[in-house]
């Protein structure tokens, strides 16, 4: 029997059904119950319709079919009967076929070979989820004495444990656009996967839709959805719930990616009001938000099989311009190679584009009118006519019985569009009546909605999404783990060579560049005394883009030249760098030091556009310098005000010179609360690494620490104090905290407290354990590292609601808070 319950062709003859009478049932061994209690009764011969009885002799036992059996043996009865007449069952042959091999498990080869009709199968139309993949290993120790014809293909194969089930989504890309590696532990080395992403404007319902497609049902409480939706509080203040990109994978190996809203006004408002430092290539906050949105969309176009575009009204023309702009920015697909020949996926030299589904969420009843539906499809087809994205031909509302009266040819240009109505409450069908008391019979009927129930529509959408073609993303077939590395930010490989002045730089070693070092370089260092070259050495490695080019430092008596040649492809820094020519004067003049006399002048040359003053050990140096020397990774000394209070009195600002390599001037305000009462409030000033310039907080439930930081990058710019930050609102995340001896109380996290923390500190020979919420900087930044090293503490952070759930004892929490406040220092 097939899965639909019909006889399959070829099982009992071509196109013929076999009717089995009650007397033809198979008798199994004693104690075996195949389909009900009647199977356990002894077989009693029954009279035929002509009055004769069944012939005597051993009963012919038919072999049960498990999944499938070779066609030639289906009609053959078992010939191996024992002497006592008891039937002996043959060893059945079990076939396990992958989805792409054609046919479902249990389908005969000749039936599987028949082409299926257009549209999804009955199972998919009914909204059932696909079956879970089977993970198996082959036993190499099969007996060699068995003949090859009698070997069961499944003998010796054992079933592995199913993959770990995710309970909630995790971060793939955080709010700072940093790649997270936590998803790797949920991925497997198998290729049967589907990647579904979503984009849309703020409040359109992206997270709710992704939760319903992945793991939840409309009847469940939205607070338990795997992708956290907007709370009522966030809606009232116009905020966004999702930041970065969230990741969730089902046990059916479908990867769902939920993204922050595109062109979000709340993200822009957060940038402006919190004075967040923008990357140097962006001058205005709205430009940064737009480019960030385009990068996320282009990323999904590269790594997803299906991208769902969610709208809650029809339609915003700017959204279609945004999609086509992101399409132009999509990275090129790696070129195909010989190893992909014959595999499903791109043709040689073809560019990969995903399937796009336009989802009209919160659709009204009028939107389901056939005339309006036809107009919507026509508009989208016109707007996307010049796009390479696969926006039509793979999803149809006419194929899933939503419009039973419309034929397949009603929509001449049917695009991948699906209408999802407003989610109704329980009992709406019974509460809404069709008519008034004029016609009593009509008043008993449910109200007309114009479409099936919301849960039915979600089920049909899920079936259509999961049945979409899974085209090859790259020139090779990717496993889940391969996909993770393919989606991760590109890591450049470069030759590395650190040679002394008299040695030759040989390309024997390779290095994988860190994310911020995006170019391979060959660097040549030269030192001149007057016009005589006294040092000439070369090195190779990874550099950031701002260090590429020539730079020099002219101290009058000596001149140091750095010539850096950069390239962007793997292992491209193979060649040596030629010696640059001596540039001509640029007209700028600076002082330089001759011994202790620093009143002499030197003419700057080339790109030496800055005058420099620096201290090298006990000696003072002045001269000319290029911009890369002063403001690149070889930063000139930055001057900042320093003020570290020693007690309750206000300290006085004094000038200090910051160490090089990315320091900024900063003013830090550390406020601690016990309950809602402010316990301490201190301000400090000094030099701080750029990565530490962010607001952070640590919330232990009964006490809370807030660190507010203002940074700037010019000399003595941290002259003003930092204003007191307002208390942030709840972000929807929950963690355990300690309230007494037990640590099982629930705490609502606030602001950017995206992690649950467990802090263990030894104070005065007493082991103190506290739990609560924490910002990322408290868990993984330099502030966290310095605190843990200073007090010999151990911080353990995790993502996910109530993930810090181990029971612990609690002691000395206020002492821990006081110790933390006293140890917030500058690096």
Lowest-confidence segment of 625-634, 689-698, 720-729 by average pLDDT: 625-634
Say if residue 119's pLDDT is above 60.
Answer: no
pLDDT in the model for residue 359: 95
Among candidate residues 467, 487, 507, the one where a domain is terminated:
487
Question: Do 724 and 803 share a domain, yes or no?
Answer: yes
Give mean pLDDT, residues 304-330.
92
Question: Do 481 and 515 share a domain, yes or no?
Answer: no
Percent above pLDDT 90 for the chain = 19
Question: Do 525 and 460 share a domain, yes or no?
Answer: no
Question: Do 339 and 373 share a domain, yes or no?
Answer: yes
pLDDT in the model for residue 135: 43
Identify the residue with better confidence: 629 or 553. 553
- At 784, is the pLDDT very low, low, confident or very high (cuts 50, 70, 90)? low
Residue 117, in any domain of the structure: no
Residue 132, in any domain of the structure: no
Question: Do 754 and 718 share a domain, yes or no?
Answer: yes
pLDDT in the model for residue 409: 82
pLDDT in the model for residue 109: 41
Buried b (16+ CB within 10 A) or exposed e, 472-507: bbbbbebbbebbbebbbeeebebbbbeeeeeeebee
Residue 773, in any domain of the structure: yes
Question: Do 200 and 232 share a domain, yes or no?
Answer: yes
Say if residue 711's pLDDT is above 70.
Answer: yes
Say if residue 60's pLDDT is above 90.
Answer: no
State the Cα–Cα distance between residues 535 and 528, nearest whole angstrom.
7
- Which neighbouring-strand residues pair with 87? 81
pLDDT in the model for residue 90: 53
Question: Do 32 and 105 share a domain, yes or no?
Answer: yes
Say if residue 649's pLDDT is above 60.
Answer: no
pLDDT in the model for residue 572: 87
Question: Do 598 and 612 share a domain, yes or no?
Answer: yes
Among candidate residues 487, 522, 554, the one where a domain is terminated:
487
Among candidate residues 487, 518, 535, the one where a domain is terminated:
487
Instruction: Supply the DSSP string of 239-302, one letter for each residue.
Output: --S--SEEEEE-TT-EEEEEEPPTT-HHHHHHHHHTTPPPPTT--SHHHHHHHHHHHHHHHHHH
Strands 532-543 and 493-498: antiparallel
Identify the residue with better confidence: 497 or 101. 497
**How many domains are there within the chain?**
4
Say if residue 413's pLDDT is above 70.
Answer: yes
- DSSP alpha helix (H) spans, 468-518: 480-487
Lowest-confidence segment of 178-182, 345-349, 805-809 by average pLDDT: 345-349
Over residues 605-639, the pLDDT tens digits come to 988 888 888 776 567 788 898 887 776 544 455 67
Residue 559, in any domain of the structure: yes
Give mean pLDDT, residues 789-813.
67
Structure tokens at 213: 């497609």
Residue 389, in any domain of the structure: yes
- At 788, is the pLDDT very low, low, confident or very high (cuts 50, 70, 90)? low
Question: Do 729 and 807 share a domain, yes or no?
Answer: yes
The residue segments making up the domain with residue 551 are 493-631
Q: What is the largest CA-CA distance in the chain?
A: 132
Mean of all residue pLDDT scores within the chain: 74
State the Cα–Cα distance between residues 732 and 228, nearest whole angstrom.
8
Over residues 453-502, the pLDDT tens digits come to 899 999 999 999 999 998 888 878 888 988 998 888 766 788 888 765 55
Question: Do 443 and 530 share a domain, yes or no?
Answer: no
Q: Are 61 and 27 in contact (CB under 8 A)?
A: yes
pLDDT in the model for residue 642: 87
Residue 136, in any domain of the structure: no
Say if residue 355's pLDDT is above 50.
Answer: yes
Residue 638, in any domain of the structure: no
Say if residue 247's pLDDT is above 90.
Answer: yes
Say if residue 22's pLDDT is above 60.
Answer: no
Identify the residue with better confidence: 325 or 793. 325
Residue pointed to by tokens 């140097």: 280
- Which neighbouring-strand residues pair with 509? 496
Residue 151, in any domain of the structure: no
Give mean pLDDT, residues 768-786.
78
DSSP structural state of residue 488: S
Question: Do 274 and 211 share a domain, yes or no?
Answer: yes
Give mean pLDDT, residues 269-277.
80
Identify the residue with better confidence: 10 or 202. 202
Give mean pLDDT, residues 717-729.
84
- At 385, is the pLDDT very low, low, confident or very high (cuts 50, 70, 90)? very high
Say if residue 129's pLDDT is above 60.
Answer: no
Say if residue 335's pLDDT is above 70.
Answer: no
Signed CA dihedral, 606, 610, 615, 619: sign only = positive
Give mean pLDDT, residues 805-811.
50
Question: Do 382 and 289 share a domain, yes or no?
Answer: yes
**What CATH number should be reported for the domain holding residue 767?**
2.10.60.10
Over residues 586-601, the pLDDT tens digits come to 988 998 888 778 888 9
Lowest-confidence segment of 184-193, 294-303, 652-661 by average pLDDT: 652-661
pLDDT in the model for residue 66: 47
């Amino acid at each position: 029997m097939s899965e639909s319950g019909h006889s399959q062709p070829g099982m009992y003859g071509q196109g013929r059904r076999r009717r089995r009478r009650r007397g033809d049932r198979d008798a199994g061994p004693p104690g075996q119950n195949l389909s009900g209690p009647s199977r356990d009764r002894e077989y009693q011969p029954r009279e035929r319709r002509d009055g004769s009885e069944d012939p005597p002799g051993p009963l012919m036992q038919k072999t049960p079919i498990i999944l499938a059996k070779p066609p030639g043996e289906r009609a053959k009865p078992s010939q191996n009967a024992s002497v006592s007449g008891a039937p002996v069952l043959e060893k059945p042959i079990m076939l396990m076929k992958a989805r792409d091999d054609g046919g479902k498990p249990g389908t005969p080869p000749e039936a599987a070979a028949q082409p299926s009709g257009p549209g999804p199968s009955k199972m998919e139309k009914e909204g059932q989820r696909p079956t879970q993949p089977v993970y198996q290993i082959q036993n190499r120790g099969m007996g060699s004495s068995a003949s090859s014809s009698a070997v069961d293909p499944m003998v010796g194969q054992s079933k592995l444990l199913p993959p770990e089930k995710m309970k909630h989504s995790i971060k793939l890309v955080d709010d700072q656009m940093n790649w997270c590696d936590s998803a790797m532990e949920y991925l497997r080395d198998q290729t049967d996967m589907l990647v579904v992403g979503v984009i849309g404007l703020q409040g359109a319902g992206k997270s709710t839709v992704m939760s319903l497609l992945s793991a939840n049902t409309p009847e469940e409480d939205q607070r338990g959805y795997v992708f956290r939706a907007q709370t009522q509080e966030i809606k009232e203040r116009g905020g966004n719930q999702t930041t970065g990109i969230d990741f969730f994978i089902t046990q059916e190996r479908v990867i769902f990616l939920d993204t922050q809203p595109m062109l979000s006004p709340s993200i822009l408002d957060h940038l402006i009001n919190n004075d967040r430092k923008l990357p140097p290539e962006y001058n205005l906050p709205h430009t940064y938000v737009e480019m960030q949105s385009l990068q996320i969309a282009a990323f999904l176009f590269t790594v997803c099989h299906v991208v769902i575009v969610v709208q809650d009204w029809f339609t915003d023309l700017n959204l279609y311009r945004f999609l086509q702009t992101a399409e132009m920015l999509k990275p090129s697909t790696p070129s195909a190679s010989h190893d992909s020949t014959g595999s499903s996926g791109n043709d040689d030299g073809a560019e990969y584009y995903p399937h796009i589904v336009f989802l009209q969420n919160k659709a009204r009843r009028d939107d389901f009118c056939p005339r309006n539906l036809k107009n919507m499809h026509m508009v989208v087809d016109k707007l996307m006519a010049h796009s390479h994205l696969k926006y039509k031909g793979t999803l149809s509302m006419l194929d899933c019985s939503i419009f039973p009266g419309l034929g397949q040819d009603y929509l001449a240009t049917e695009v991948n569009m699906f209408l999802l109505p407003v989610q109704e409450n329980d009992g709406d069908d019974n509460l809404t009546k069709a008519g008034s008391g004029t016609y009593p019979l009509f008043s008993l009927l449910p109200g007309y909605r114009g479409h099936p129930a919301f849960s039915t529509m979600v089920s049909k959408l899920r079936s259509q999404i999961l049945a979409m073609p899974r085209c090859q993303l790259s020139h090779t077939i990717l496993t889940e783990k391969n996909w993770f590395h393919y989606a991760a930010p590109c890591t450049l490989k470069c030759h590395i060579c650190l040679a002394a002045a008299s040695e030759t730089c040989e390309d024997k070693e390779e290095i994988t560049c860190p994310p911020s070092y995006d170019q391979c370089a060959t660097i040549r260092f030269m030192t001149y005394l007057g016009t005589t070259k006294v040092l000439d050495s070369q090195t190779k490695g990874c550099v950031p883009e701002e260090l590429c080019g020539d730079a020099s430092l002219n101290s009058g008596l000596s001149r140091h030249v750095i010539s850096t040649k950069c390239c962007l492809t793997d292992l491209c820094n193979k060649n040596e760098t030629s010696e640059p020519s001596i540039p001509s004067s640029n007209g700028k003049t600076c002082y330089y030091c001759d011994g202790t006399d620093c009143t002499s002048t030197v003419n700057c040359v080339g790109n030496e556009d800055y005058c420099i003053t620096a201290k090298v050990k006990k000696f003072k140096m002045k001269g000319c310098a290029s911009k890369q020397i002063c403001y690149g990774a070889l930063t000139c000394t930055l001057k900042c005000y320093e003020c570290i209070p020693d007690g309750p009195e206000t300290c006085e600002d004094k000038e200090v010179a910051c160490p090089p390599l990315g320091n900024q001037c900063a003013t830090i305000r550390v406020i601690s609360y016990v309950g809602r009462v402010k316990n301490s409030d201190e301000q400090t000033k000094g030099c701080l690494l750029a990565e530490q310039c962010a607001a952070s907080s640590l919330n232990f439930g009964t006490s809370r620490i807030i660190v507010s930081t203002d940074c700037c990058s010019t000399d003595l710019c941290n002259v003003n104090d930092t204003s007191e930050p307002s208390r942030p609102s709840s972000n929807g995340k929950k963690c355990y905290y300690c309230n007494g001896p037990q640590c099982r109380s629930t705490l609502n996290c606030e602001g950017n407290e995206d992690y649950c923390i467990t802090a263990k500190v030894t104070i005065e020979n007493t082991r103190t354990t506290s739990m609560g919420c924490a910002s990322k900087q408290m868990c993984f930044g330099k502030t966290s590292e310095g605190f843990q090293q200073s007090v010999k503490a151990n911080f353990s952070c995790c993502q996910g609601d109530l993930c810090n759930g181990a029971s612990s004892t609690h002691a000395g929490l206020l002492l821990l808070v006081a110790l933390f406040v006293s140890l917030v220092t500058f690096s």
